[in-house]
Amino acid sequence: MTFNIASFLVQVAALAVVLAALHKPLGVYLVRVFEGKMSSRPERLFYRLAGIDAGTEQTWSVYLRSVLAFSVVSILLVFVLQRLQGILPGSGSLPGVDPWIAMNTAISFVTNTNWQTYAPETTIGIFVQMTLLAVQNFLSAAVGIVVVVTLIRGIARTRTQRLGNFWVDLARTSFRILLPIAFVASLLMVLGGVVQNFWPADVVNHAAGISQTIPGGPVASQEAIKELGTNGGGYFNANSAHPFENPNPFISLFEVFLLLLIPSALPYAFGRIVGDQKQGYTVAAVMGTLWLASVSLMGWAVASGQGTATAAAGGLGEGFEQRFGPVQGAIFAASTTLTSTGAVNTAHDSLPPLAGGVAMVNMMLGEVAPGGTGSGLYGMLILSIISVFIAGLMVGRTPEYLGKKIGPTEMKLAAMYILVTPVLVLALAGITVMLPDIITNAPATGPHQFSEVLYAFTSGANNNGSAFGGITTSSPYLSVMMSLAMLLGRFLPVALVLALAGSLARQGKIPASAGTVPTHGPLFGGLLVGVTVILTALSYFPALALGPLAEGLLK
Amino acid sequence: MNTLTGYLRQALTALRFLLAATLVLGVAYPLAVFGAGQLIAPYQANGSIIRDDGGAPAASALIAQASADENGVQDPRWFHARPSAVNWDPATSSASNLGPNDPKLLQAVEANRAAVAAEEGISESEVPADAVTASGSGLDPHISPEYALLQVSRVAAAHGMSPEEVRALVLRHTSSGLEALLGQPSVNVTLVNLDVAASSGQR
């Protein structure tokens, strides 16, 4: 398979143009949803059903407790019902899910990671897919969005403790943003060939003497939210490489578009809510620059076709689907790891070493270009605060961001935020490679074995969910370690972001002065790109050197 | 005590919210997509099932259809699909997940290449990459036009057809235009084989 540069440029340009055209109308719509006060009749009915007092706003700590209560209850319910699968309807003859796998899966879907330590076809049936996993696809994406909305409110509001109502925000985000887009997207997917039924089909090719059972299931409805919510958990084991999840190149490009859609519109909503559109444009430009750079780097690394087996085969092919080829593989691989999606249309484990390395770096950047639904923007806002602080040090002024003083409290929260994932990734991967457990579960040899472990924990702690699939994480030890990475990698940052929102909202607005570092424009944008890249490089370079760099450069 | 009841009340709210949301997102939404899908595109929604002349389901147009003997050799009468890590069984799906420098992968690639070269009577350097590498899903129904054309004379001979006839069937199921630009030119082997069977009167 050859890498067609024209095809690459056409698709990257098409994505950039369409997303640029849609980010404003969608951003305006997002603001209307977040800032709206009126509830529709069905929403009021829903609030009554759920027992929510929609009129009250919460402080940051109550908001956080609501996030945590909701997530804990979700994890428990998803876990228990997976265990009971054997007696639930619509599960075929599948038994209850193994407890370690069920725990890992429950945590994985509630944290928006969608790491899949199970093979769906042989582990979970329609009931679990449809009423548990697909529902968490919506809600975990919505949680990410409401958390960033709360941070934006914290920046925009002054002298208040009130930051919104988690339950109302969650319902509005799920029903007014995610549900309608997912519905339209899933119909387009059905038209393109993604299945949506509830039964398998037995087919017999008499001439060739082949009988098959063609699987069925509510795939399109799950596929749409899987991309839109930057979740990534496939209905099938092969994920978006499976012909029923991703039947042709049009749908593949559409899936990349869907997973970038909301994250790329959120900066516009941010600018609008804080009342300074230039802020939103700067953040969007930084995200776009990093996306473009990373996609290009991925294209180059894939096109290089490095690897002894690849050379022996006479070119790329292993792990690629013929209908997509290396161009769509590269664009998908870069975009899925730059967001927190983790869906794959190509087996990442078989990518050339440096391409696998680019995928890891994308996640290590903190998935901020444009990032997961909500989590990408809050990551980028934290990095903005760090950048303001660094710029403030240079000019010797107390740093401020959008009229809010960045004091010791704010800096501690921001610094802890950027330390959480590197610590989790490096500590857990480091401990794991020293244990004998890994030799049987990651059967690769040399630097590639370390890459598989590093990729797994990078993916887990950043809530991505893509994998170097050669590793098996269903053993009790690895299941627990990955669960820890996913849980802490999701909820520690969320807690820090909400605390930051609370701390910023309490302040009054200080007027900009001559010493204020402007947080828009190319200068600040460049600083933000630099800070993002340097922080990542400082944290991860040694680990990368042992894995993908060693494999890619020493040949 | 007060904090405990507070936590319990919060957990109860969470549970009620989750159950109510499940009704909308986990039941109503997939059923609505199902209903609409069956209405506007029943063929696609049900797995793109191709029927034979008698109207019985024969294959899915999107799923590879191949069978191999115990040595992994595909039936020489038909166009071969790409190697599969799951033996083309649609009840599962997977890539090999072997690294690009993995000795096991190198071994598999070399064995595949020798087998293809021997079967088609060509030199090993003429074997295209897609013929010796396992696909991402294990169910890939597509191969490259190069690999398809290599197989034409073998399949034509097995069915008593002329190579031109078979080549025309290959071209009919080769992707083109924008689809081939976005992805790459691909031949749907499942469909070609069904047409070969029909043209040679075996269906």
Rounded Cα gap, residues A136 and A119, in angstroms? 18
pLDDT of res. A398: 83
Chain-centroid distance, C-alpha A162: 28
Nearest-by-Cβ selection for A190 from B44, B98, B137: B44
pLDDT of res. A420: 97
Single out the residue of A220, A245, A253, A362 nearest to residue A298, CA to CA: A362
Beta bridge partners of residue B176, listed in sequence order: none
Interface size, chain A vs chain B, as Cβ–Cβ contacts under 8 Å: 379
User: Do B184 and A323 make contact, defined as CB atoms within 8 angstroms?
Assistant: yes
Task: Cis check for the bond before B57: say yes or no (omega within 30 of 0).
Answer: no
Element (H, E) at B55: none
Q: Where are the beta strands (DSSP E) in A217-331?
A: none
Element (H, E) at B135: none
- If you measure CA to CA, which chain A residue comes closest to B14? A70
Distance from CA of B170 to the nearest CA of A (A): 15
Residue type, A58: Q
pLDDT of res. A92: 83
Series of mean pLDDT values for 10-residue runs along chain A (555 residues)? 96 98 98 90 92 92 97 98 94 93 97 96 95 98 98 97 96 97 98 97 95 97 98 96 98 98 98 97 98 98 96 97 98 97 97 98 96 97 97 88 95 97 97 87 91 97 96 93 98 98 96 88 97 96 96 82
The answer to whether B174 faces chain A, any CB pair under 8 Å, is: no
Rounded Cα gap, residues A253 and A249, in angstroms? 6
- Residues 6 or more apart whose Cβ sits within 8 Å of residue A533: A365
User: Do B103 and A445 make contact, defined as CB atoms within 8 angstroms?
Assistant: yes
Rounded Cα gap, residues A2 and A316, in angstroms? 7
Output the pTM of the full model. Answer: 0.97
The answer to whether A146 faces chain B, any CB pair under 8 Å, is: no
Distance from CA of A1 to the nearest CA of B (A): 6
Nearest-by-Cβ selection for A50 from B17, B26, B33: B17
Chain-centroid distance, C-alpha A111: 10
The answer to whether A353 faces chain B, any CB pair under 8 Å, is: yes
Token representation of residue A184: 């339209």
Q: Is A543 left (phi over 0), alpha (psi -120 to 50) or beta?
A: alpha
Q: How far is CA A291 from CA A262, A285, A320, A456, A540, in A?
A: 15, 10, 22, 22, 19
- Beta strand pairing call for A400-401 and A404-405: antiparallel
Rounded Cα gap, residues A70 and A169, in angstroms? 13
Sign of CA dihedral B66, B70, B71, B75: negative
Rounded Cα gap, residues A136 and A129, in angstroms? 10
**DSSP label at residue A297:** H
The three-state secondary structure class of B142 is: strand
User: Do B129 and A191 make contact, defined as CB atoms within 8 angstroms?
Assistant: no
Q: Are A216 and B47 in contact (CB under 8 A)?
A: yes
Task: Report pLDDT digits (tens) over A1-24.
Answer: 999 999 999 999 999 999 999 999
Percent helix, strand and coil across chain A, each to the nearest 5? 65, 5, 30
Percent helix, strand and coil across chain B, each to the nearest 5? 55, 5, 40
Chain-centroid distance, C-alpha A394: 34
Rounded Cα gap, residues A353 and A450, in angstroms? 12
Which stretches in chain B have pLDDT values below 50?
A: 1
Beta bridge partners of residue A205, listed in sequence order: A210
Q: What are phi and psi of A54, to 5 degrees?
A: -75, -10
Single out the residue of B52, B55, B77, B78 nearest to residue B187, CA to CA: B78
User: Do A131 and B60 make contact, defined as CB atoms within 8 angstroms?
Assistant: no
- Residues 6 or more apart whose Cβ sits within 8 Å of residue B93: A121, A236, A237, A238, A241, A242, B86, B137, B138, B139
Q: Are B76 and B158 in contact (CB under 8 A)?
A: yes
Distance from CA of A153 to the nearest CA of B (A): 23
Question: Which positions 61-100 of B are in contact with A (Cβ < 8 Å)?
Answer: 62-63, 65-67, 75, 77-78, 82, 89-100
DSSP code per residue over A50-107: HT--TT----HHHHHHHHHHHHHHHHHHHHHHHHTGGGSTT-TT--PPPHHHHHHHHH
> What residues of B are in contact with residue A353 (Cβ under 8 Å)?
99-101
The answer to whether A253 faces chain B, any CB pair under 8 Å, is: yes
The three-state secondary structure class of B173 is: coil
Rounded Cα gap, residues B179 and A299, in angstroms? 19
pLDDT of res. A416: 98
pLDDT of res. A439: 78
Q: Are A547 and A308 in contact (CB under 8 A)?
A: no
Compute the C-alpha angle A492/A106/A73, nearest 5°.
Answer: 70
Rounded Cα gap, residues A115 and A105, in angstroms? 7
The answer to whether A468 faces chain B, any CB pair under 8 Å, is: yes
How many CB atoms are closer than 10 A to CB B114? 13
Task: Report pLDDT digits (tens) over A165-188.
Answer: 999 999 999 999 999 999 999 999
Rounded Cα gap, residues A52 and B13, in angstroms? 7
pLDDT of res. B3: 80
Nearest-by-Cβ selection for B135 from A315, A321, A470: A321
Question: Which positions 110-169 of B are in contact with A (Cβ < 8 Å)?
Answer: 110, 113, 125, 127-130, 132-144
> In a mutagenesis test of the B interface, which of A323, A327, A466 is the best target, namely the one with the most B β-carbons within 10 Å?
A323
Nearest-by-Cβ selection for B184 from A4, A187, A195: A4
Distance from CA of B32 to the nearest CA of A (A): 8
Single out the residue of A77, A59, A79 nearest to residue A67, CA to CA: A59
Residue type, A60: W
- Beta strand pairing call for B57-60 and B142-143: unpaired
Q: What are phi and psi of B143, to 5 degrees?
A: -130, 170
Burial of residue A396 (CB within 10 Å: 0-12, 13-18, 19+) is exposed
Question: Which positions 2-41 of B are in contact with A (Cβ < 8 Å)?
Answer: 7, 10-18, 20-22, 24-27, 29-30, 32-34, 36-38, 40-41
User: Do B133 and A319 make contact, defined as CB atoms within 8 angstroms?
Assistant: yes
Element (H, E) at A205: strand A201-205
User: Do A312 and B182 make contact, defined as CB atoms within 8 angstroms?
Assistant: no
Distance from CA of B68 to the nearest CA of A (A): 10
Rounded Cα gap, residues A261 and A19, in angstroms? 7
